[in-house]
Structures are given as C-alpha cells and as structure tokens.
Amino acid sequence: MDEPFFTPAGEGERIRQHRVLAELPQIEALELSFGPDFEGVDPHTHPNHADSFYVLEGEVEFLEGGEWRRAGPGTFISVPPNVEHGFRPCGTSVRVLNFHTPHAGFIGRLRDG
C-alpha cells in the first residue's frame, strides 16, 4: 500500500476488548485494554520485530533490562528484536497502544485465541 492508512476514532476491528488500528506489512497497531485482574504478559523475546507500547490509561510495569519499571499515561517504550520484555498492570485497568514493526502475526494470534 502506497497510501496513508487511516482508522477513525472508535473504529477498527474488535477482538474481545482490544481494537485493531492497522494490519499492514510494515506495522500492526492495536489498542489493548486489560482489567485490573489481568496477570500480564510473561517475559519473552521476538526475533524479527520491535514491540512498542504507549500507555494511555492506568499504570503498568514493563520489564526492561531485567528490572520491572512502573509506567503511567504518556509513557512510551520500544523493545528491539531479541530483547526480553513483558508487562503487567499495577492493580488498575490498563489501556495501551501496541505496535509490532514490521507485521509479526500478533493480530492473527489474537483472532485465533
């Protein structure tokens, strides 16, 4: 696609409580929402893409350099390929933007799961 991609506010495919913003070869973008009871995402790595987050609401802890760091609204983190990372809510509901660059099949796994 050689044209801008536009997802208006409130639109985009819903997968459970999450919203797909873009699914293109160069990027997957999602708005992820989790309740306070969500246990988090265990530490993991991705061999072929960066995994980036922007916190919109709530507080979350991100694993960075082997240590958990607390992040609130307005915080951005980008994890390069092959770097261990994970995240977990800090007892609040959480809403984050999540970007996989390039496309990594994450949205497909959400649909299947």
pTM of the model: 0.91
Q: Which amino acid is at 29?
A: A
pLDDT digits (tens, 9 = 90+) for 63-91: 987 899 999 999 999 999 999 999 999 99
Q: Compute φ and ψ for 107, nearest 5 degrees.
A: -65, -40
Domain ranges of the chain: 14-112
pLDDT digits (tens, 9 = 90+) for 5-57: 889 998 999 999 999 999 999 999 999 999 989 999 999 999 999 999 999 99
Cα 107 to Cα 15, 18, 27, 38, 39, distances in angstroms: 9, 10, 11, 19, 20
Domain 14-112 = CATH 2.60.120.10: yes
